[in-house]
Amino acid sequence: MSLVLDSGEINRALKRISHEIVERNHGVNSLVLMGIPTRGRFIAERLREIIATIEGPVACGTLDITMHRDDHRLRAPRVLVETVMPHGGIEGKDVVLVDDVLFSGRTIRAALDALGELGRPNSVQLAVLVDRGHRELPIRADFVGKNIPTSIKEQVKVYLTEHDDKDLVEIVTVQE
């Protein structure tokens, strides 16, 4: 088990990402943040707060991807999570998908499908706290908190105060 990011580092990474998002999109006018449950939702909420202090208010929603997953036949049905449409919708907006860890890319593939069902954004970008590699699909992140090279046997665990009572990212080795 090793510590990758502590609370201060998580904050600094999110601040940097916030600046990058605003810079890339030339402000916040058509910007929408969409968090992917469970933890992407809290990260999106934090980015919204930071962007509000540096540039101005930005719409923020939640996107449940359960019904669009490709592994339904491999595991028990999951409980659906709430999808919250951001104020003003996503039609013609520049949507930034937000998640905690980017791994195989399958979650993001499902998110793109789920988003397509809600409307047609002008563009879709991706912000993640951690990119751990091992992609199985041609997908990449536009904004990354930290790149962590990992072994496929390792697991990246993200803890956030809103959900787990502490801010921490660590790597654990899974025992066979």
Q: Tokens in use for 89? A: 């919708």
Peptide bond into 62 cis (omega under 30): no
Cα dist from 44 to 50, 92, 134, 135, whole Å: 10, 20, 24, 22
User: What whole-number distance in Å separates Cα of residue 114 and Cα of residue 108?
Assistant: 10
Between 122 and 147, CB nearer to other proteins: 122
Count of other CB atoms within 10 angstroms of residue 127:
25
C-alpha to C-alpha distance for 42 and 37, rounded to whole angstroms: 8
Which among 21-29, 67-75, 129-137, 150-158 is the span making contact with other proteins, rule CB under 8 A?
67-75
Interaction pattern, residues 17-46, with other proteins; x per rule: CB under 8 A: ------------------------------
Instruction: Note whether 64 binds other proteins by CB under 8 A.
Output: yes
Interface with other proteins (CB under 8 A), residue from 1, 2, 73, 138: 73
| Binding of residue 68 to other proteins (CB under 8 A) | yes
> In angstroms, what is the minimal distance from the CB of 81 to other proteins?
7
Of residues 104 through 123, those in contact with other proteins by CB under 8 A are 113, 116-119
Binding residue count for other proteins, defined by CB under 8 A: 21
Residue 76 CB contacts under 8 Å (≥ 6 apart), including other chains: none
Q: Minimum CB separation from other proteins for residue 77, in Å?
A: 3
Q: Residue 51 or 90: which CB sits closer to other proteins? A: 90
Binding-site member from 7, 11, 20, 81 for other proteins (CB under 8 A): 81
Q: How far is CA 69 from CA 74, 75, 159, in A?
A: 11, 11, 23
Task: Quote the DSSP letter at residue 72.
Answer: G
By CB under 8 A, is residue 137 in contact with other proteins? no
Token pair, residue 55, equals: 């540039």
- Shortest approach of other proteins to residue 119 CB, angstroms? 7
Q: Summarize as ranges the residues that interact with other proteins (CB under 8 A).
A: 64, 67-68, 72-83, 85, 113, 116-119
